[in-house]
Amino acid sequence: MEPPLIEFKDVTKRFGLRTVLERVNLQIYEGQVTTIIGLSGSGKSVLLKHIIGLLKPDEGTILFKGKPLTTMKKNEKAASLAQFSYMFQDNALFDSMTVYENIALPLRETTNLKKAEIDLRVTARMEQLELSDAANKYPSELSGGMQKRAALARALVTDPKIVLFDEPTSGQDPVRKNAILSMIAKYQRKFGFTAILVSHEIPDVYFISNRILALYDQAIVFQGTPEELENFDHPFKDEVILSLEGLREELTGLYSKRQFKVLHHVQLKQKTLGETYSVVVFTLEEMDAIITSLGHEAAQEALRSMGVYIDKHFGAIGGFSTRRHTNEFVTVLPYSDLTEVESMLKDFIDDFQEQGIRGIWAGGRKQPASEGGVEFVILAGIAQGQPVGNIDSVINSAKHQQKEIARLRCDVRR
Amino acid sequence: MALNTDSQGLSKGEARWPLVTLLTRPFAAIGRAAIRWISNLGASAVFLFLAILNIVRPKQGPKIIQQIYFIGAKSSMIIMLVGLSTGMVMGLQFYRALVKVGAEGAMGTLVALSLVREMGPMLTAIMIAARAGSAITAEIGIQRISEQIDALETMRIDPLRYLISPRIAASIISFPLLTALFDLIGMIGGYISGVLLLGANSGTYLHRVQVSMEMEDVTEGFIKAIVFAVIVSTVCCYQGYFVHMRTDSHGAKAVGLSTTSAVVLSCVLIMVADYVLTSLLI
């Protein structure tokens, strides 16, 4: 593995008699989305502020590209820290400045760019983050979601290589929360920066994170992928993850991955040899196109609506579902055969097209790019399994058999 | 620390000699307060030094002009009002006192010299501390508690250069100008009450104002105005900038207390500095 971009070696921080971080060791790699999870007040923001130099450790070393920050010369340190940008938990927008002035501030104060060039860059960022209508508004006149986007625009306007997000989704409803995370993931892919998030939005952050760091009892107790975290055996899992995760996912109302595992384990164990069960894997395709046409919130609304309709149709016949990836759902039907599932799928699509798609417009801020509307392409794959077999192979089989089951047009004139 | 204290937080020495502790405690408190005061004084001096160093930097011009508008131009009405009222009161009082000794002709001299050397710089500074100084502390304090100052640091914008230096520069420019305005309006006030209302001789008043004032009187007034500008702007900016370091309160309450402290401390320091400067310049 390549050397870490940022590394903490035995970092300790105390405030008076209270130790917030104790011998923290961690590695953050370039180009990834790394999320630091932990309970409120566990020192996540303190850790983040050490990375950007707002706080200094009492003991230990912070290395940037393998070099300790403390041994760097002033210019070298300034050049290293200039690659960072920081999005504060409460946005920290200047309330006496308009949105445009807030976003332009770092360019005006730290570069020698001409006014026209600054205007070009700020306008581009505002357009990308759907803030053009709010350019002359003050932060207090904006909704919570728009304030977040303004803060994100300010953080990204200098084209940073590393962006730190301190609780970017705090105080948001489930749709907006996931819209912000989706926005971060989209821009991270688009601009290629290294993203470091602090969050306790479990499991929402799993969908966008390459790596998870778990902060527990003043130290980092886990570093690895979200999948590896599933098999992590530590009190952190019981005390933090289970308490934050809940039984059902906030956005879709479907079972959490953990609860889904428990359910299929219990249900399939009860089956006798020879009995079968079915698995359906759904995918909402072209998420980027939906985001471009309707905005992040409408895209999340589409996912939410799809989850609700899957649960409504397949839950009624004893099925249980979860969201496996951002736009992928898995449903296990313990009592249904393939023919019944095929028939249920048709009903589901008819109902989703008739009712479910209407609510999506409510979350849309932008009009469709084309006059004809936006198309939602839904894929589904069905597979049958035996209780003795491994369910993951059945899910993979269903995934491989996915085909387009609906191309739903969401027309602006409807 | 925990090893040397008992359950009531007393050290071993305090527990063994309670009477001695009782007697020395007030001195210890005075000592701690003195150390805190001296350390704050040192921090303020460094704060001022760094802020002054950052005044002459690129892109500071528009920010200084903006602050001159806020501290200077927007304070001019209240300065004119207080100047007029002070001049009129002085006209009334001096005329009544001088008439008794038959020296009402000296009224112009007394009004002009009192205003230019003492009342003008001091009252102007106090009025600006109350109007603009309190606003500066509150604004910077709120920016501190809402992490706007931290945000500046993360954007590689020096908060001292961006927030403090323009305010100190603007104060140094605005205070002498407002003092001059105060003096002028004060003299007009003295003319209104002494000449127009009480009947003193107009020519004598204007002649005395003109001949009794020398350049060193004006210089003394301006030196005081500049010193007061540095005091007021430093105290008010410092109180707001370090609002998060207060140990007696946090958040909005800390901003309120810092604003009060800034105005009170500015006024006290203006009076102390006025006496010191007068004794040095006289």
B157 vs A105: CB contact, 8 Å cut-off?
yes
Angstrom distance (rounded) from CA A303 to CA A298: 9
The answer to whether residue B3 scores a pLDDT higher than 50 is: no
Residues A72-111: pLDDT tens digits?
888 888 888 889 999 998 899 999 999 999 999 999 999 9
Is residue B230 scored above 90 in pLDDT? yes
Q: Average of pLDDT values for A142-162?
A: 89
Optimal mutation site among A45, A86, A89, A156, interface B, most CBs of chain B within 10 A: A86
Question: With contact defined as beta carbons under 8 Å apart, do B131 and B233 qualify?
Answer: no
B162 touches A: beta carbon within 8 Å: yes
Token pair 């005329």 in the structure block, residue? B95
- Residues of A in Cβ contact (< 8 Å) with B157: 105-106, 109-110
pLDDT at A268: 73
CB count in 10 Å sphere of residue A320: 20
- B71 vs A334, residue with greater confidence: B71
Contact A110 B154 (CB under 8 A): no
Mean pLDDT computed over every residue of chain A = 84
From the CB of residue A392, how many other CB atoms can be counted at a distance below 10 Å?
8
- CB contact B215 to A (< 8 Å): no
Residues of B in contact with A94 (CB under 8 A): 143, 148, 151
B66 touches chain A (CB under 8 A): no
Chain B hits for A158, Cβ within 8 Å: 155
CB A314 within 8 A of CB A280: yes
The per-residue pLDDT of chain B, averaged, comes to 91
> A248 phi and psi, to 5 degrees?
-120, 150
The least confident of A306-320, B170-184, B243-257 is A306-320
Residue A51: closest CA among chain B residues belongs to which residue? B154
The pLDDT assigned to B1 comes to: 37
Query: Which residues, 6 or more positions from B135, have their beta carbon under 8 angstroms from its beta carbon?
Result: B70
Residue B212 has pLDDT above 70, yes or no: yes
Q: What is the mean pLDDT of residues A135-153?
A: 89
pLDDT at residue B14 above 80? Answer: no
In angstroms, the separation between the Cα of residue B100 and the nearest Cα of chain A is 57
Beta-carbon separation of B148 and A90 below 8 A: no
Which positions in chain A touch B70 (Cβ < 8 Å)? none
Question: Which residue in the set A54, A82, A94 is minimally distant from B156, CB to CB?
Answer: A82
Identify which has the larger pLDDT, A318 or A244.
A318
Is the distance from CB of A173 to CB of A295 less than 8 angstroms? no
Contact in structure between A236 and A243 (CB atoms under 8 Å): no
Chain B residue numbers with beta carbons less than 8 Å from the beta carbon of A105 are 155, 157
Predicted confidence at residue B6, as pLDDT, reads 53
Question: So what's the pLDDT on residue A99?
Answer: 96
Cα of B5 to nearest chain A Cα, Å: 15
The answer to whether B270 touches B230, Cβ cutoff 8 Å, is no
Q: Is B63 an interface residue toward A (CB < 8 Å)?
A: no
**Would you call B171 an interface residue with chain A, using a CB distance cutoff of 8 Å?**
no
The order of strands in the sheet holding A59-64 is A18-28, A6-15, A59-64, A67-68
The pLDDT of residue B89 is 96
Closest CB to A92 among B59, B148, B156: B148
Q: Write the residue in A90, A92, A110 that is nearest to B157 by C-beta.
A: A110
CB atoms within 10 A of CB A119: 14
Q: Given CB atoms, is B59 within the 8 Å cutoff of chain A?
A: yes
Average pLDDT over residues A332-342: 85
Question: For residue range B77-133, what is the model confidence (pLDDT) as tens digits?
Answer: 999 999 999 999 999 999 999 988 888 889 999 999 999 999 999 999 999 999 999
Average pLDDT over residues A18-24: 92
Is pLDDT of A311 > 70?
yes
Residues of B in contact with A106 (CB under 8 A): 155-157
Q: According to the model, what pLDDT value does residue A373 have? A: 66
Task: List, in sequence order, every beta strand (DSSP E) within A119-225.
Answer: 162-166, 194-199, 211-216, 219-224
Which position has the higher pLDDT, B18 or B226?
A: B226
Q: When comparing pLDDT for A355 and A350, which is higher?
A: A350
* Shortest CA distance from A151: residue in chain B: B151
Domain residues of chain B, as ranges?
54-281
Q: What pTM, to 2 d.p., does this model score?
A: 0.77
Yes or no, beta carbons of A106 and B153 under 8 Å apart:
no
Per-residue pLDDT for A40 more than 70? yes
The most confident of A147-151, A335-339, A390-394, B2-6, by mean pLDDT:
A147-151
Q: Is the pLDDT of residue A367 over 50?
A: no
- Categorize the per-residue pLDDT at B10 as very low, low, confident or very high, splitting at 50, 70 and 90: low
Closest approach of chain B CAs to the CA of A198, in angstroms? Answer: 17
Rounded to an integer, what distance in angstroms lies between the CA atom of residue A334 and that of residue A321?
11
By Cβ distance, the residue of A81, A86, A109 closest to B157 is: A109
CA distance A343 to chain B (A): 56
Instruction: Measure in Å the smallest separation between the Cα of B137 and chain A Cα atoms.
Output: 15
Asked if B60 is an interface residue toward chain A (Cβ–Cβ < 8 A), one would say: no
Residue B229 has pLDDT above 50, yes or no: yes
Greater model confidence, A362 or A81: A81
Whether A154 has a pLDDT exceeding 60, the answer reads yes
Predicted confidence at residue A293, as pLDDT, reads 76
Give the bridge partners for A408, in sequence order: A376
- Which chain A residue has the Cα nearest residue B162? A109
Report the SS3 class of residue A46: helix
Q: Is B143 on the interface with A (CB under 8 A)?
A: yes
How large is the ipTM? 0.79
Does the beta-carbon distance from B150 to A110 stay under 8 Å? no
Q: Which one is predicted more confidently, A21 or A251?
A: A21
